[in-house]
A and B are shown apart, each in its own frame.
Chain A
Amino acid sequence: MSGGETEMVDMSGPVADAQAVLDAHVREIVQWHFDPDTGCPYWLDRAKSFDFDPLKDIQSFTDLKRFPPFDDEDLRGGPMRRWVPRAYAESPIYVFETGGTTGTPKSRIVIDDFRIDYELFSQTIPDEYFPPGSNWLMLGPSGPRRLRLAVEHLCQFRGGICFCIDLDPRWVIKLIKKGWMEHLEAYKAHCIQQALTILDSGHEIRCLFATPKLLEALALALEDRGSSIAEVGITGIFSGGTEFTPQWTRFATEELLGGPASEGGVYMTPTYGNTLMGLACSRPVVADDGYKIAYYAPQPRAVLEVIDPDNPDQLVEYGATGRVRLTTLTKEFFVPGFLERDEGEREAPCPLYPWDGVSGVRPFHKLAEATTVGVY
């Protein structure tokens, strides 16, 4: 692990308060998932093989280390009902999938989590740039993805109407793997054409979700027409879905969005998220900080840690590089200690988010060679 400079972090005050909230939340969630009246078959069955009693022995976030490493292969295939908490047996169930280019994708069940996550996220985006009541364009994946419904819900929650495109990210990955780059460009152009059609159709779109690559493609397509993101009326962009780098954020800010929002440009907020976690917000990204992007999970519903990949129970020092580990703690879904396919630097708590964050998120170097990043 590369070492960073050890920062002195004040662990009292808001940080300690957040920790107390997290520990209480852990107790509540573990009780819920391991109580036969409310828990799901998967965890109730797994508990039989544990050498501890989750109902008694898990009293804090630190106690979650007692769970064996979560095997993400368990997320592949059915029956999906094994993940449904008994308390929600009668509720309508969504299944959201990840990956799936080849073979059986990983999936999870959702009832309301995506709505809750995005309503929380809604509180973090400024009304000045995401005006309540305004319409959105969802320039991202369609199909069995959480993102499509979540962005639509975010828009509806804020009083707007969401316009979507058709985009199959699995086909994009296949095109890249086959080296069919002309087809890839054609498919991207097909997606952008759908977006342009929506923007040209009098829908008064003001807000946009886009992956970095699609945002770039849209901006360049508009530039080709002598226009820009700002000129078509978009004032706020929520971007995510694939890797974000400070260099790309700087390029987008300086050359695609008309400069920093504080100087009249379009506002863009990078996010990091997935089907398991929900959505990690970034603290404000500014030029003075080298466009550094630091993400903070929506604690206590999810916790991001940056750990030593050779010793997953050991956090790296602040500023040092490690693998991202995710713990999901909602009443719908409980996953302790899931090792993400990403790495990054551990970030100290900040006033807005008094818990650990992660910056410089990128594919975990030991897995990176096998990872294909598409337009989504």
Chain B
Amino acid sequence: MLEIPVIRWGKPYESYEKKEIHHFITGEPIATVDQAGSGIVKRDLSKSHLARQSLTGFSTQELIDRTAAAAKLFRDATLPMGNGTQSPVEFARAQSATTGLPEHMCRSNMEKNCFVLENIKHVLDALTRGLDLEILRRGFGDEGRGVIVSYQAQTDALGLVLPSNSPGVHTLWLPVIPLQMGLVLKPGGLEPWTPYRMFSAFCEAGIPPEVFSIYPGEGADVGAALLAGSSRCMIFGGEATVQQYEGNPRVQVHGPGYSKILLGDDIVDQWEDYLELMVQSVLANSGRSCINASGIWASRHTKEIAAALAERLGPVEPLPPEDSEAQLAAFTNPQMATGTWNLIESDLQDSGVTDCTKSFGPRLVEHSSYAYLRPMVVHCRDAERPVAAKEYMFPFVTVVECPQAEMLKKIGRTLVLSAITEDPEFQRQLIDATHIDRLNLGPVSTIKLDWLQPHEGNLVDFLYRARALQTANSRRQGVSPAVEATSTNAPSA
């Protein structure tokens, strides 16, 4: 069995406290994961400047090249994992075994991570709007327009409190190393796999191990210490977590997406043309992701849309995790499934709410140590039904009847919104709506992400702050005439 140590700035640390993680079906132990404590985290964070110091010793091109090399290693190589090694096949199998995600989805997430790493140059180019990354390293520079720009690092290392249930989110932190900052990772209790494999891939690709720390442990202890001690931190969690950290400039919080598809009045009569897009937006990656659609809104035809979706999603059944056709992830904690089901049953008591998947058999499929929830399509006669604002960790979608003119007022906070409309006025309102994060105009699935665009805030803006930096030298040369013209401190002629 694999034994996975704590990593303290690149060095393995064997803890006296260990947690065993098991195969969710067989109960077979897969690994023991050493547990860190908050004291270790806090103490180590005081040395995070050394990580940045180490990374700024490389040119940005070197970091980009090594990141790209890490991509292939992550996807293809047999890499160190604790006291053993792990091939890509073993990785996907282990990740599936502890998280409940089908193996082919684990492989697909590996591809996603690999894609982002391989294309890191383009990703960074897009996120920085073409900035010469050497300017980030140096702290300031001239972009070629005769204007000095300065970006100040807001942290030496990014802290991350990662989830257990969604291996796809790791793409968000992959640009951090080429952005010359260390990584301090608290893996989800059931998903140590991606952080450790990524650590191995980066190290094999020539990134110094001492820029990584990985602290498995309790969220209330290790996670809290990470959040309290990091200048910049990213956390994944539920609605309560979002509310707790919303507005905290040190924390970028990722929670439920409440992603939606809106069908404009101009196209809604052709709704059948978009059925496949709707199905994929709900079902892909087992419906666990924040970018899966949890709501489809239209002003008419909603009952037909819901019935057609139910016809497609209702029959989907759990399959073994190794089955390449498996579309559903297991709840490895069966109580989460039963708890979710109880909430949904309560939602369904509401008048004006119809369970359109009812005739396709029971939704809750219980086993002794795990459970599944089969896809659900729920029709809401108007946007006032509380279930219209719900999102659950499986393919669950409400089809909501709502006049187009009221949609923007009623959809609430939305991470990804696919607006299928060609109405320019509606498009204008959508573009201006500040409660929509990612906006897709036209028939684009909610799950289709363009990695060259920011996701829930621009990571570069989170890690670096644009600020003024003037040098005596540049003013003498007069390379920035605007400075002289507007300065209140200009030397008299």
Among listed A18-26, A247-255, A320-328, interface-contacting one: A247-255
Whether A248 pairs with B43 at a CB distance below 8 angstroms is no
Among listed B32-40, B195-203, B282-290, B390-398, interface-contacting one: B32-40
Whether B17 pairs with A247 at a CB distance below 8 angstroms is yes
Q: How far is the CA of A245 from the CA of B40 in the complex (A)?
A: 14
Whether B244 pairs with A216 at a CB distance below 8 angstroms is no
Q: How far is the CA of A212 from the CA of B440 in the complex (A)?
A: 52
Whether A185 pairs with B43 at a CB distance below 8 angstroms is no
Whether B244 pairs with A251 at a CB distance below 8 angstroms is no
Whether A181 pairs with B244 at a CB distance below 8 angstroms is yes
Q: CB < 8 Å: which of B15, B227, B248 contacts A247?
A: B15
By a CB distance below 8 angstroms, the chain B residues around A247 are 15-17, 35, 37
Q: Does A207 touch B at the CB level, under 8 Å?
A: no
Whether B42 pairs with A251 at a CB distance below 8 angstroms is no
By a CB distance below 8 angstroms, the chain A residues around B240 are 179
By a CB distance below 8 angstroms, the chain B residues around A179 are 240, 244
Q: Does B483 touch A at the CB level, under 8 Å?
A: no
By a CB distance below 8 angstroms, the chain A residues around B46 are 220, 223-224
Distance to closest chain A CB from B91 (angstroms) = 28
Distance to closest chain A CB from B488 (angstroms) = 38
Q: Does A256 touch B at the CB level, under 8 Å?
A: yes
Q: CB < 8 Å: which of A181, A252, A291 contacts B39?
A: A252
- Count the A residues whose beta carbon is within 8 Å of the partner chain — how many? 20
In terms of DSSP, what is the predominant structure of the interface of chain A?
A: helix
Chain B residue at minimum C-beta to C-beta distance from A256: B39
Whether B16 pairs with A216 at a CB distance below 8 angstroms is no
Whether B244 pairs with A255 at a CB distance below 8 angstroms is no
Q: How far is the CA of A140 from the CA of B115 in the complex (A)?
A: 52
By a CB distance below 8 angstroms, the chain B residues around A291 are 16
The number of inter-chain residue pairs (CB within 8 angstroms) is 43
By a CB distance below 8 angstroms, the chain B residues around A100 are none
Point out which of A224, A247, A248, A256 has the most chain B C-beta atoms below 10 A from its C-beta: A247
Whether A181 pairs with B228 at a CB distance below 8 angstroms is yes
By a CB distance below 8 angstroms, the chain B residues around A255 are 39-40, 43
Whether A290 pairs with B42 at a CB distance below 8 angstroms is no
Q: Does B431 touch A at the CB level, under 8 Å?
A: no
Distance to closest chain B CB from A175 (angstroms) = 11
Task: Identify which of residues 1-47 in chain B touch chain A, using a CB-to-CB cut-off of 8 Å.
Answer: 15-17, 35, 37-40, 42-43, 46
By a CB distance below 8 angstroms, the chain A residues around B37 are 245, 247-248, 251
In the A-B complex, list the 7 residue pairs whose CB atoms are closest, starting with the nearest: A247-B16, A216-B39, A247-B17, A246-B16, A185-B228, A179-B244, A251-B39
Point out residues on B near A: beta carbons under 8 Å: 15-17, 35, 37-40, 42-43, 46, 220, 224, 227-228, 240, 244, 248
Sample (18) of A-B pairs whose CB atoms are under 8 Å apart: A176-B220, A179-B244, A181-B224, A181-B227, A181-B228, A181-B244, A216-B42, A220-B42, A220-B43, A223-B46, A224-B46, A245-B37, A246-B16, A246-B17, A252-B39, A255-B39, A255-B43, A256-B39
Point out residues on A near B: beta carbons under 8 Å: 176, 179, 181-182, 185, 216, 220, 223-224, 245-248, 250-252, 255-256, 290-291
Given contacts A247-B35, A255-B43, 12 further A-B contacts (CB under 8 A): A179-B240, A179-B244, A181-B228, A182-B248, A220-B39, A220-B46, A223-B43, A245-B37, A246-B17, A247-B15, A251-B39, A255-B40
